[in-house]
Amino acid sequence: MPPLSPKAKAEKIKLLILDVDGVLTNGNIWFADNGDEQKSFHTQDGLGMKRLQRANIQVAIISGRKSPAVDRRMKELGITQVFQGQENKQAAYESLLETYQLSPEAVAYVGDDLPDMHIMKQVGFRIAVNNAVPEVKAFADWCTTRNGGEGAVREACELILSYQKVSKQNETKNILA
């Protein structure tokens, strides 16, 4: 049997899992003089995640690092499944499958670097951001045209929504992203 197309894979998605550094951010980490970590998020990514949630597609975060900025941004977006400080992302992934009672085929993952490969091997739809390392891009089912932190997540969200035929016309005008 030939492998499924990105369209066929995207049609089945009920959960999108995102890495943070290099996916929701451009991968840069800034430290203030007082040692506080700062991150920059793209507002278009936020709107994409909100649109998925409105279409009853869950969004979750699994990150190897821990940052209060991630907690704050995800709280703003209403994303409750946030796993940070996950050196091994497997336990968080299994918890999400159990929480939402999903099979791996119903899960998409967006990654950019080698630590993402383990989970990417298990999900139904593997997405790499444009500036991902070559190994991740070669393994992905689909690659964004935008870099991480520059609207790549929005692009992935729009692809999933378009293949699930979710219309922009049914959305309210004022969406905080």
Q: Which residue has the tokens 């139904």?
A: 124
List beta partners, residue 110: 18, 127
pLDDT of residue 174: 46
Average pLDDT, the chain: 92
User: Is 177 inside any structural domain?
Assistant: no
pLDDT tens-place string over residues 86-132: 988 999 999 999 999 999 999 999 999 999 999 999 999 999 999 99
User: Is 121 inside any structural domain?
Assistant: yes
**Domain membership of residue 69 as a residue range:** 6-170
List beta partners, residue 143: 128
pLDDT of residue 148: 97
Q: What is the pTM of this model?
A: 0.91
Q: Where are the alpha helices (DSSP H) in 78-163?
A: 90-100, 117-120, 134-139, 152-163
List beta partners, residue 128: 111, 143
User: Is 55 inside any structural domain?
Assistant: yes
User: Is 175 inside any structural domain?
Assistant: no
User: Is 1 inside any structural domain?
Assistant: no
List beta partners, residue 107: 15
Report the run of H or E that residue 142 belongs to, with start and end.
strand 142-143
Q: Is the pLDDT score of 167 beyond 90? A: no
Count the domains in the chain.
1
What's the mean pLDDT in 62-68?
94
Q: Give the CATH number of the domain where residue 159 resides.
A: 3.40.50.1000
pLDDT tens-place string over residues 32-60: 888 888 899 999 999 999 999 999 999 99
- Structure token digits, residue 96: 């999400």
